[in-house]
Amino acid sequence: MSKNVTISGVRDFNLSHIFECGQCFRWDREEDGSYTIQALDRVINLKVLSENPKEAASGNSKKVLAENLQDGEITLLINNCDKAEFDGVWHHYLDLDRDYGKIKNTLTANDDSGHMAAAAAYGYGMRLLQQERWETLISFIVSQNNNIARIKKCVASLCENFGKPIGVYRDKMRYTFPEPEVLAGCSLEELQICRLGYRAEYIRQTAVRITEDNEAWQRAAALGTEELSVYLRSLPGIGPKVANCITLFAFGRYDSFPIDVWVRKVMSRLYGLPENDTAAMAAFASDKFGDLSGFAQQYLFFYARENAKIVLKEAD
DNA sequence: CCCCAGGCAGTTA
DNA sequence: TAACTGCCTGGG
**pLDDT at residue A55, as a whole number:** 54
pLDDT digit string, tens, across residues A156-170: 999 999 999 999 999
**pLDDT at residue A68, as a whole number:** 37
Task: Verify if strand C has an atom below 7 Å from the CB of A11.
Answer: no
Task: Verify if strand B has an atom below 7 Å from the CB of A239.
Answer: yes
Q: Which nucleotides of B are covered by protein (CB under 7 A)?
A: 4-9
- Ramachandran bin of A314, using left for φ above 0, alpha for ψ from -120 to 50, beta for the remaining angles: beta
C3 C1' closest Cα residue:
A276
Residues 164-203 (A) near nucleic chain C, CB < 7 A: 192, 195-199
- What is the DSSP-derived secondary structure letter of residue A308? H
Distance A71 CA to B3 C1' (A): 40
Which residue spans within A25-82 are E strands per DSSP? 27-29, 35-39, 42-48, 73-79
CB A107 within 8 A of CB A296: yes
Task: Verify if strand B has an atom below 7 Å from the CB of A261.
Answer: yes
Residues 105-144 (A) near nucleic chain B, CB < 7 A: 143-144
Task: Verify if strand B has an atom below 7 Å from the CB of A278.
Answer: no
Angle in degrees, 0-180, between the axes of helices A100-109 and A293-306, rounded to the nearest 10: 80
Please list the ranges in chain A whose pLDDT falls under 70: 1, 51-71, 313-316
Task: Verify if strand B has an atom below 7 Å from the CB of A314.
Answer: no
CA angle A280, A115, A285 (to 5 degrees): 25
pLDDT digit string, tens, across residues A237-267: 999 999 999 999 999 999 999 999 899 989 9
- Distance CA(A252)–CA(A272), nearest Å, equals 29
Neighbours of A118 (CB within 10 A): 20
Distance A282 CA to B8 C1' (A): 19
**pLDDT at residue A312, as a whole number:** 75
**How is A131-189 classified by DSSP, letter by letter?**
--HHHHHHHHHHHTT--HHHHHHHHHHHHHHHS-EEEEETTEEEEPPPPHHHHHT--HH
**pLDDT at residue A51, as a whole number:** 59
Residues 14-73 (A) near nucleic chain C, CB < 7 A: none
Strand arrangement, sheet containing A27-29 = A4-11, A73-79, A42-48, A35-39, A27-29
Distance A49 CA to C6 C1' (A): 49
Distance A41 CA to B1 C1' (A): 42
